[in-house]
Amino acid sequence: MNLLLLEEADFIAADRVILRDRRLTHMQEVHRSQVGDSLRVGKIGGLMGSAELLRLDTTEAELRVTLDQPPPNKLPLTMVLALPRPKMLRRVFQTVAAMGVPRIVLVNSYRVEKSFWQTPFLEPDAIREQLILGLEQARDTVLPQIIIEKRFKPFVEDRLPAITEGTLGLVGHPGNYPPCPRGLDQPVTLAIGPEGGWIPYEIDLLAKSGLQPVQLGDRILRVETAVTALLARLF
Amino acid sequence: MNLLLLEEADFIAADRVILRDRRLTHMQEVHRSQVGDSLRVGKIGGLMGSAELLRLDTTEAELRVTLDQPPPNKLPLTMVLALPRPKMLRRVFQTVAAMGVPRIVLVNSYRVEKSFWQTPFLEPDAIREQLILGLEQARDTVLPQIIIEKRFKPFVEDRLPAITEGTLGLVGHPGNYPPCPRGLDQPVTLAIGPEGGWIPYEIDLLAKSGLQPVQLGDRILRVETAVTALLARLF
């Protein structure tokens, strides 16, 4: 936790918060904070700044907050991601939040196991929990938008073209394709497949909606690693 | 497991292997392999190719092996990595093996907790297990070399200069430094710090041994994410 994220409900005055949950535990056990210490804080969806610890006991902490810095820029990106297996999904949420992806569309794909859609990690509270861990890690305050599209074809045919418009559309896919471009400034729409990859029908449909296949080399990477590698290379 | 890795001890003849361990279970439960199926295989430290499943029962599988393809190239890199916390260490071993890092030096750093050096995940067999998972994922056969240097100063002063010589020496570090370069062809020596980063004394000593600080932006990434992001950007 490199940033203590504050919720609207934590505020008892414009510049005062009281914390009682895992953030209190973290301050006590990891940071070993003491009264008078200054901590980096941010308000979810808002500014970042610092807070002075005014009072700390076993049940709560009171802080005086100064919020005066904007959060870091997001990447100019919409990521379309075939739903990963649940354990991977949690880590991917953290990773994309940490790396500054503003919008992720989770889609179905032929190689996504049906059971993955039943995971409790897709509940809104569970998603938010992982995103917040990523924001706390990277020092950001703005939650990415997560869109769930369980049906591949209607999403790709009917809604993806509007997302892709005005962006460079790419789909990561192993094979005899151009290498993934580097160091872009322009907005990108990037699709990343499931373990085992997209099937040819899906690649064709994505291409018709404006996403061109690009590859990252011969090595087959886990989804979380591929996500990070593609983002680091593109931006 | 995208490649079935074969050990010397698996061979009962030049082109025959018998498997009994987790690889047998994987063939049965994940691949649901049947006699006559062809599988991608590689010999640890050697060539890759295919194998025909000749016989499969509850206790063992026999395969006829053809090894005729070289493994993918490694990155021209030595990575110097401050020892991560144990849980992260395991994943980092998988990631670096998957991404093609040929040599990793694990070093101490001021912000590495002493207890991390006690982890059983640093035992040779435990390291090898994780590296093999990474090779199986990425389809490679060559184990990275893992070097353990528990004392920072003697390593950096006495042995790092010989590693750095003839390479571009870089150390990933947040701050007012040049951005990490992109798409290099030349050999690189890359140092990556612990959670919380290197301390100034360490950055100075690394610089004296030829590693110049470069940064990846304002966001603070977990070690595993930083490793992947730096490699994807450099090569």
Read off the pLDDT of residues B18-45 as tens digits, 9 standing for 90 and up.
Answer: 999 999 999 998 889 999 999 999 999 9
Over chain A (235 residues), the average pLDDT of each successive run of 10 is: 95 96 90 94 98 94 97 98 97 98 98 97 98 97 97 97 97 94 97 95 97 95 96 97
B100 touches chain A (CB under 8 A): yes
Q: Which residues of chain B are within 8 Å of residue A182 when distances are taken between CB atoms?
A: 182-183, 233
B-chain residue closest to A133, CA distance: B222
CB–CB of B229 and A231 under 8 A? yes
B32 touches chain A (CB under 8 A): no
The class of domain A4-69 in CATH terms is mainly beta
ipTM: 0.95
The answer to whether the CB of A231 falls within 8 A of the CB of A184 is: no
- Tell me the domain boundaries of chain B: 4-69, 77-234
Q: Which residue from A137, A220, A228 is facing B220, i.e. has the nearest CB?
A: A137
User: If you average pLDDT over every residue of chain B, what do you get?
Assistant: 96
The pLDDT value recorded for residue A222 is 95
pLDDT in tens, B165-193: 999 999 999 889 999 999 999 999 999 99
The pLDDT value recorded for residue B113 is 95
CATH number of A77-234: 3.40.1280.10
Domains B4-69 and B77-234 belong to one CATH topology: no
| C-alpha pair distances (Å), B138 with each of A9, A92, B18 | 46, 19, 23
Q: Which residues of chain A are within 8 Å of residue B113 when distances are taken between CB atoms?
A: none
The pLDDT value recorded for residue B144 is 98
Residue B150 pLDDT grade (very low, low, confident, very high; cuts 50, 70, 90) = very high
Helices (H), chain A: 22-29, 86-99, 124-138, 152-154, 160-164, 200-208, 223-234
Cα dihedral B94, B100, B102, B106 sign: negative
The pLDDT value recorded for residue B15 is 96
Q: List the structure tokens of A24.
A: 């209190």
Name the A residues in 56-95 with CB < 8 Å from any B CB: 72, 94-95
A218 touches chain B (CB under 8 A): yes
pLDDT in tens, B63-84: 999 999 999 999 999 999 999 9
pLDDT in tens, B86-143: 999 999 999 999 999 999 999 999 999 999 999 999 999 999 999 999 999 999 999 9
B231 touches chain A (CB under 8 A): yes
CA–CA dist A234, B147 (Å, integer):
32
Indicate which of A184, A190, A222 best probes the interface with B, i.e. most B CBs within 10 Å of its own CB.
A222
